[in-house]
């Protein structure tokens, strides 16, 4: 299982993410992003969603993946588990587990979007720093 931690950034939110492989990197990036939004332990796995995202390369796919998750969050959902079913540089298919946002959920940050700023994904070294617009 990968690891993540917030890192200082002057104007936006930044998150360092390391995965054991690319699948783990994408799953961990999603978990890390939602950890910036709320306490993951408070999210029950009551609902399952399956999504697909298309991209032009690894970096584009990562940004589109995270922004699709933000779209779902803006529409009332929080997720705590992410399972990539299929991953190529151009396509991602995943299952998400979570629940609708409820009054007891404390939203700690409002993320507008994941950005391409400085994002480089190396298949041999799955470690990145993500910058989020807030």
Is residue 11 pLDDT above 70, yes or no?
A: no
Q: Helix-strand-coil percent breakdown of the chain, rounded to 5?
A: 25, 40, 35
CA distance 122 to 128: 9
CATH number among 2.40.430.10, 3.10.129.10, 3.55.10.10, 1.10.10.10, domain 3-133: 3.55.10.10
Average pLDDT over residues 92-110: 94
Place of tokens 């151009």: 90
Alpha carbon of residue 105 to chain centroid: 18
CA distance 93 to 25: 14
pLDDT 10s digits, 40-77:
999 999 999 999 999 999 999 999 999 999 999 999 99
Q: Which two tokens stand for residue 58?
A: 């690894």
Average pLDDT over residues 2-21: 87
Is residue 1 pLDDT above 90, yes or no?
A: no
Given a contact cutoff of 8 angstroms between Cβ atoms, the answer to whether 98 and 127 are in contact is no
Average pLDDT across the chain, whole number: 95
pLDDT classification of 29: cutoffs 50, 70, 90: very high
Look at residue 6 in the predicted model and tell me its pLDDT. Answer: 84
Three-state SS for 106? coil
Three-state SS for 67? helix
Highest mean pLDDT among 4-8, 25-29, 102-106: 25-29
Average pLDDT over residues 99-125: 93
CA distance 114 to 67: 6
């Amino acid at each position: 299982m990968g690891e993540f931690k917030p890192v200082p950034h002057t104007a936006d939110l930044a998150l360092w993410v390391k995965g054991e492989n690319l699948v783990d990197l994408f799953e961990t990036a999603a978990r890390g992003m939602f950890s910036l939004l709320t306490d993951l332990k408070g999210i029950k796995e009551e609902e399952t969603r399956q999504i697909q995202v298309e991209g032009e390369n690894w970096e584009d796919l990562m940004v589109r993946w995270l922004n699709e998750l933000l779209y779902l969050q803006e529409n009332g959902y929080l997720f705590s588990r992410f399972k990539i079913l299929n991953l190529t540089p151009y396509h991602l298919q995943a299952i998400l587990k979570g629940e609708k946002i409820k009054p007891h959920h404390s939203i700690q940050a409002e993320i507008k979007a994941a950005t391409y700023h400085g994002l480089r994904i190396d298949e041999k070294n799955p470690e990145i720093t993500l910058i989020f617009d807030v």
